[in-house]
Structure formats: structure tokens, C-alpha cells
Chain A
Amino acid sequence: MSSDVLLDVQDLRKEFHVRNAGRTARLTAIDGIDLEVRRGETVALVGESGSGKSTVARCIARLVEPTSGGAWLGGRALGGLRRRKLSRLYGKLQMVFQDPNSSLNPRMTVRAILDEPLVLHLRMSRADRETRVRELLEAVGLAAEHLDRWPHQLSGGQRQRVGIARALAVDPELILLDEPTASLDVSVRGQVIELLQQVQQERGIAYLFITHDLQVVQRIAHRVVVMYLGTIVEQGQTEQVFAHPTHPYTKALLTAAPTAEYGVRRERFRLSGEPPSPIDLPAGCRLAGRCPIAEERCRTDAPPLTVVERHHLVACPPMSGGWRRAAPAAPAGGPDAQTTPRLPHVAQEPGAPS
């Protein structure tokens, strides 16, 4: 594994059992995805609601248990950790939540909220904590006067800043951002994005940025991973994906977003119909039923991710040179595909606790 890979997710799968009309059905939220985040890098995970992007973050943070597969942070397996070790993991991995209104405890002041990780993770002295809390507050653009405020006395943007400060408190290496700007006003959104970029430059923190806001992605992300119904359909560097979207789903996603240029009419790439239910997924490509270029084989065989350009992978054989090139014999494509060797299952990882 190359040393600059911070987060390595392999064959992550999450199924939920839902009761549907009296019988138990299996809902596949994540269908075996691989993902890498390098140190100091921002990877955007985009997709529509229900594509499983939030579940990916929650599985990595172990807020939900993945059904199979695992994640490694700096070479340490995140799966199978008991509580004590999991708590140590949270010293390196933090999360900023979507809704700042519900991610702050309404019965704690800003000071108490920021103090808590310092007490629990770093075991700092009282005086040190006070200094650190003030530093954090300053780092996210809030003033000392906000220390004794309650969450309900802050604006949405200020609350999200507190949420970011809380994530920064323990000096993490990776922050999972679960749609951190989705519930903010547009005017505040830009400020928060700016703050996140500034923090990254100062501290070299890597972000896994989960969002459906493509403008934000273009601004902040180094790489983009596009998810559709629990699978990765396309991934690549931001410029590549935005300049040459290749998968039909990505094309539809990008052309559906409004542009800032007035009067410019882009040719929209349209998909027909609605996404299928994640319960009882169709065989083959999940998009086949809605896709204008679907071939016969798309309906029966799962399309593998194939390299179309250096760093740019697409799971759509009709767009990437046909099924023969994407044959399972070369699962991840050519030499420029993921260089990471397959690791055995979580339990056999040497870093895993015995």
C-alpha cells in the first residue's frame, strides 16, 4: 500500500433488513465499493439521495456496522475494533454532520461542546483546554463571546462552524463531511466551504466530502467519486470528470445542474424513469432500465470499473471500449488503475486487534 493513502475502503457492503409487506426484504445500501483517500486530499462522494453515500461515511466511522468489507485508516483496520480502540480511532477520524441544528447538544454551551473531545481524547488540563477552545473558536471564525452561547442562540452557519471546530478539536487526519452545507443558506454555504479549504491548507487534513452540490465539488474536491444505488459508477480527478463525464449517470447528473451563465443552453442528457428500489435490485447495471445507450449485456452483467484515462475509471462498458475490454479477467483495468493490492478480509489484516 502506498504510504500516502490515508483511508482505504475495500469491498464495503451494507445491507439493511427491512420488513416489507410482512416479509423481510434485503435492502442493499452499499454494494461492495472500493475507495481511497490520500493524505491532505479532498475526495467528493456525489450521488442522489438514497445512493448510499451517507451510509459509506457512517460505515467508515462505525456509526453503523458494515455487512462485509472494511476500511483502513493509515494502515489500521477500522473493522472489528472494540470500544476502547474505536475511541482511539476517533482521535484521527472525525465527522461533520449534515444538520447543525441537531448535531449540537441543545443543553450544552459552545464551550462545553468543544471542551468534551479535549477531556475525553486528549486528557488536557483545565487551563490548556481553555486556551485550546479559544484557539479552535478562532480557527473557525468565531469570537470568544460565543463561548457561553447555547446552540439555539447561534445562526445556522455559526452552528456549523462549531461543528467543524468540534471535529478539529482532536487534530484528526481525516474528516468525513456529510453534506455539511446542505442545510445552510446559500450565502453562508460559500463561507463554510472557504473555511473548510482554509483549514485543510493549514492543517493538511484529508476530507471525504459527501454532497450532491456539484458547484461545491468543483470548487473544493481534488477527486470525485460518483455513486448510483450503492455502486461507484465513475471516479476520477475533478477536472476529468467535469470535463469528460463518461458514465451516462454522471452525464445526466452534470447536465441537470443549472449553470451560472445566462442564456447558455446546454444539451441535456436525460435519463428516463425513476431509479429502481434498492430492495431486490435488478441484475446487471443499475442504470440499464433508464439508460439510452444500454446494450443487451448491460441488463445481465454487472459492469466493472474500467480505466478510460489515467486516474479516470468508469463502470460503463459501452462508453469505455466495450465489454471485451472490461472483461472480468482484468477487473480494475490497466496498470494505472488502483495500484493497491487486494487485502484479505478485515480479520486477517495484520493491524487488526487479535
Chain B
Amino acid sequence: MNVRTIAVGSPSLVAFLRTLCRHRFRGTPTMRLGLVVVGILTLVAVVSLFWTPYDPAATKVGPVYDAPSASHWFGTDRVGADIFSLTMAGTRIDVGITIAAVGIAFVVGTTLGALAGFYGGWVDAVVSRLTEIMQAFPTLLLAMLIVAAVGPGVWNVIIVVAIVGIPDYLRLARAEILSKKTWQFTEAGRMVGNSPVRLLRRHLVPNSVLPLVAYSSINASWVTALVASLGFVGLGIEPGSAEWGAMIARGEDSIVSGEWWIAFFPGLAIFVLAAAFYLIGDGITQKGDGR
């Protein structure tokens, strides 16, 4: 069913959008759950810019080591800062870094992979060798090395996480383009006068992008964990920030002494975000392509 036929039967814009959502974005139930969770967390990230229950940077907004209660939902830490406010503030760091890094890796990796697959020859050789070199290193180790070298900062983390993610997108895009390159519509596209760049953009990439979108979502769950890992080991984000991994690191010692909530809630947030991304990717994979 295409958009136009739906539009004909829909009196208002709201009804039109509703039908559009129902028909075009109908996924598996788990995929919708993932979308809702990511949506809520993104909303929380935006809200945290303007409002949090307490100032996340302030100390002594309550008693130290206070267990979760009505006034401090996630409890307080050893300096009396509100964990709920901190977790909220961390949302924009973790969600923001994850989405930005995945976006950059997606665009750069897909572009390079498409070019390598399409042109072959030395372009392919250079690009493929470079990815192989990068993939020879364990990803976390490579990310830690580069972050340690370039120093802390949100943008540094975004770029480093994006760079270590590029090879996977590149290989996937390269393989997709390579398989579509011999399809007859590609040859037909050449014969109706498409330039190579236009052929890639209009014919090959649109037909290769779905597995990449599915992968990017699954990859996002993994990137969430990578960002938190970097924060946990104290690389990347400034120490003492509200980044979830860094918060776990600060609360780690208190788990044995009974103050589990300091590390638990940021950890739960990481889990929820990673799982939500994974469910979306899984849903896209399962749904496949209708046409």
C-alpha cells in the first residue's frame, strides 16, 4: 500500500499521520518497545537541559549515602549529590555520544564502503587494507589507545568511537554494493545515462541501505557499552562528569559496603538504552524488506 492511496482515504492530517505510522512503520512489538524507550530517553536528555529535580553538579543536596526514597528516587552518593539528577544529566551525554558516533560511522563507513565496492581496483585495495589493519586491534583497546592519545573531551570520544566503528559499516556496505553491482537494474541504470556517482546514489545505495540501518541500531547498543566502558576506566569524558560509566566507577567501591544504588542506577540506564537499540535493530532485521 503506498502513501498516496492512504492519503486519499484520510480526512485530516492527524489521521493521515496515524495511518502512515500504522502502515509504514509497523514493526515487531519488541521493535516498537525499543523505539518507545529510545524516544523516552531522548526526551529525558532534552528535559535534563532545562530541568532536573536537583542540580546534578551540586553536592549536599541531601544527606550522604541516602538510600532511594521519595525525595531522592535513586538515592544520593558520598558527597550528597542526587543520583536521579545525575542519571538524567548522563542521559544526554551517553545518548548524544552514541547517536552522534553511530551517525558519523554510518555515513563515513557507508560512503567509503560503497566507493570501494563500486570502483574496486586500487580504491578497494587501499580501503580494505586500512580496515583490516584497524580490525586487527581489539576495538575497546584501540579506542582506549586513541582516546588516551588525543585527550579527553566529548567530541574526541565521539570521533574515536565513530572511527573504531567505521570498518564494520564499510565492510557491510562494500559487500552489499558488490552484490548489487551486477544486478540488471544497475546495468539498466548505466544505459539510461546515469553517471557512476548518480548510479551509486540513486540506484545502488538505496537498495543496500536496509541491512546497514539494521546493523547501525544493533551497533548503537554496542557503542553505548563502549562509551560507558571508556567512562568507567576514566578515559575520554572529564572525570567527575555525569557520564553513566564514570558514575558506575565512582559507585563501585560502595557496592560492598551496601550502597548499591550509586552504581546500580547508571548501570540500569546503560542496560535499558543498549537493550532498546538492540530491539530496534533486531526488529528491522526480522521485518526485512517489504519490497
Select one of B185, B207, B291 contacting A103, CB under 8 A. B185
B187, B189, B195: the one contacting A83 at CB < 8 Å is B195
Interface of chain B residues 174 through 222 with chain A (CB within 8 A)? 183-185, 187-196, 202-203, 206-207
Please determine whether B207 and A107 come into contact, CB atoms closer than 8 angstroms. Answer: yes
User: Does A95 lie at the interface of the complex (its beta carbon under 8 Å from any beta carbon of B)?
Assistant: yes
**Residues B193 and A97 in contact, CB atoms below 8 Å apart:** no
Instruction: Kindly state whether residue A150 has any CB partner on chain B within 8 Å.
Output: yes
Instruction: Indicate if A230 sits at the interface (CB-CB under 8 A).
Output: no
Task: Indicate whether B129 reaches chain A with its CB closer than 8 angstroms.
Answer: no
* B contacts with A, residue count (CB < 8 A): 21
Residue among A87, A107, A163, A169 with max Cβ neighbours from chain B (10 Å): A107
B193 close to A121 (CB less than 8 A): yes
**B22: CB under 8 A from chain A?**
no
Tell me whether A102 and B291 are in contact in the complex, defined as CB-CB below 8 angstroms, given that A120-B194, A148-B4 are known contacts: no
Please state if A120 and B185 are interface contacts (CB–CB under 8 Å): no
The closest CB in chain B to the CB of A105 belongs to: B185
Residues A63 and B187 in contact, CB atoms below 8 Å apart: yes
Contact yes or no, B203 A90, CB < 8 A? no
Contact of B188 with A97 in the complex, beta carbons under 8 Å: yes
Q: How many residues of A sit at the interface, in one of the four size bands? A: 20 to 34
Report the minimal beta-carbon distance from B186 to chain A, rounded to whole angstroms. Answer: 9
Q: Is A211 an interface residue (CB 8 A)?
A: no
Chain A residues in 8 Å Cβ range of B195: 83, 87
B188 touches A163 (CB 8 A): yes
A166 at the A/B interface (Cβ < 8 Å)? Answer: yes
Report how far A103 CA is from B185 CA in the complex, Å. Answer: 4
- Asked if A61 is at the interface (CB within 8 A of a chain B CB), the reply is yes
A167-184: CB near B (< 8 Å → 1, else 0) gives 001100000000000000
- Knowing A63-B187, A97-B187, A98-B184, the reply to whether A106 touches B207 (Cβ < 8 A) is yes
With A103-B184, A166-B192 already in contact, 14 other A-B pairs whose C-beta atoms are closer than 8 Å: A91-B193, A95-B187, A97-B184, A97-B188, A102-B185, A105-B203, A105-B207, A107-B207, A116-B202, A117-B192, A121-B192, A150-B2, A166-B188, A170-B192
User: Would you mind naming 19 contact pairs between A and B with Cβ atoms under 8 Å apart?
Assistant: A63-B191, A90-B190, A90-B191, A94-B191, A95-B191, A97-B187, A102-B185, A105-B188, A105-B207, A106-B207, A107-B206, A116-B194, A120-B192, A120-B193, A120-B194, A121-B192, A148-B2, A151-B291, A152-B290
Q: Which 8 A-B pairs have the closest CB atoms?
A: A120-B193, A103-B184, A117-B192, A97-B184, A152-B291, A105-B185, A107-B206, A102-B184
